[in-house]
């Protein structure tokens, strides 16, 4: 059964679906292709890939084969951190676009730029949040949502805060189930109480640079 996912208007006027399929760790080839093709059939219209995932070509192939008009899909990719700088960024963007074979990106992201986050916090920019919440705290909170799986409530909390949410799965049942988050509405009080669970723990992705890892872990 196809589900219609709500959208959010970006400053450019583009409409971004608030839930998309993330294909991080989807193996290049059949796994990534089939995951995207299935998601589009279920009603997903936002697909999130990246240079680092090495499956941009499979995403593009699935979008072309899906029968979904290009103008109705929203495709995001990302610039890998090795490609900072105008010349490298330009070349990497062109290369990714050729791999996708879809003529254009709807959104092209820059990873881990603190200065950009500061700008986003003062302007009308949307942000994508990548995080994990303590299972103990989340389980405590979701006691009052016993009819809804914890992941749906976490996704609903993310949506309530204006974040674009990108669950990843190649499993048909899970892909379908993740769309149920759009049907959960949290009250302002519930959102505030959930936010109060913040323990102040700061984490970061492991970088691809051993020297940077050593500096960070000092």
Catalytic residues: 53
Are the beta carbons of 205 and 71 closer than 8 angstroms? no
Helix 188-195 × helix 150-160 angle, to 10° = 100
Distances in Å between the Cα of 3 and the Cα atoms of 40, 48, 57, 72, 179 are: 10, 18, 26, 14, 7
Token pair belonging to 65? 């084969």
Give the torsion through C-alpha atoms of 117, 121, 124, 128, to 10 deg: 50
């Amino acid at each position: 059964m196809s589900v219609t996912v709500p959208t959010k208007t970006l400053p450019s006027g583009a409409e971004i679906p608030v839930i998309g399929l993330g294909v991080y760790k989807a193996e290049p080839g059949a796994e990534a292709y089939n995951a995207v093709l299935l998601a589009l059939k279920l009603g997903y219209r936002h697909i999130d890939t990246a240079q680092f995932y090495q499956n941009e070509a499979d995403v593009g192939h699935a979008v072309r084969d899906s029968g979904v008009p290009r103008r109705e899909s929203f495709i995001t990719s990302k610039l890998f951190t090795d490609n900072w700088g105008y010349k490298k960024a330009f070349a990497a963007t062109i290369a990714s676009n050729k791999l996708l074979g879809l003529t254009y990106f709807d959104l092209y992201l820059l990873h881990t730029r603190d200065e950009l986050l500061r700008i986003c916090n003062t302007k009308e920019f949307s942000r994508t949040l990548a995080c994990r919440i303590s299972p103990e705290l989340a389980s405590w909170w979701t006691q009052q949502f016993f009819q809804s799986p914890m992941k749906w409530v976490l996704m609903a909390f993310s949506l309530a805060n204006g974040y674009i949410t990108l669950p990843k799965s190649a499993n048909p049942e899970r892909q379908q189930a993740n769309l149920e988050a759009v049907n959960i509405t949290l009250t302002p009080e519930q959102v505030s109480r959930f936010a109060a669970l913040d323990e102040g723990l700061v984490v970061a992705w492991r970088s691809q640079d051993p020297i940077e890892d050593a500096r960070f872990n000092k």
